[in-house]
Structure 1
Amino acid sequence: MPEDSHPDPNRWWKHRRRGYYAGMWWAFLQTPIWAAVELAQPNTLPAMGAVIGWSYGISVTLIVSYFGNNIAEAWAGKVKQ
């Protein structure tokens, strides 16, 4: 099948990379944000434990899915080396 025909296995590549970068940036940015929230309103973070956990969890999911997709494609032989 020619590379320019549908389905193109690389069509979502830039979106995966964007998700990875968004996850990394949010993981780095939210730490000082949570620290600032705690400084502004002491004892706020314990009440927001579930929200904070989900927030970091989403970041990790984006990061891990990026690497997982790359590994799966390499295993299937779809990545050109």
Structure 2
Amino acid sequence: MDATESHPDPNRWWKHRRRGYYTGKWWAILQTPGWVALELHRPGSVAALAVVVGWSYGISATLILSYFGNNIAEAWAGKVKK
């Protein structure tokens, strides 16, 4: 049984994967000037929010890496099935 028979649309999650990738990428890019502006406005505030800043970048990195990880896993699975 191939993927087209076992699933109505095997590519249906690609839209969500790409959306997650772009969200993570743009959030990482856009939050940086925000943290800089906050630090310039209130010195020491970003240091006080260090855990929040770390988690925020970590979530972005997770979204980005999961996109590439899914691509790699599917490419590898396709080669194994052949």
The answer, yes or no, to whether TM exceeds 0.5 is: yes
Unaligned ranges ≥5, structure 1: none
Unaligned ranges ≥5, structure 2: none
- The percentage of aligned residue pairs carrying the same residue is 72
Give the CA deviation at 1:6.
2.5
More deviation, 1-10/29-38? 1-10
Alignment of 1:10-25 (within 5 A): 10-25=11-26
Query: Secondary structure in 2 aligned to 1:39?
Result: helix
Give the CA deviation at 1:72.
0.3
Question: Structure 1: how far apart are the matches of 2:61 and 2:74?
Answer: 20
Moved over 4 A (4+): none
Query: Secondary structure in 2 aligned to 1:3?
Result: helix
Question: Structure 2: how far apart are the matches of 1:15 and 1:4?
Answer: 22
Aligned residues: 78
Give the CA deviation at 1:23.
0.4
Normalising by structure 2, report the TM-score.
0.86
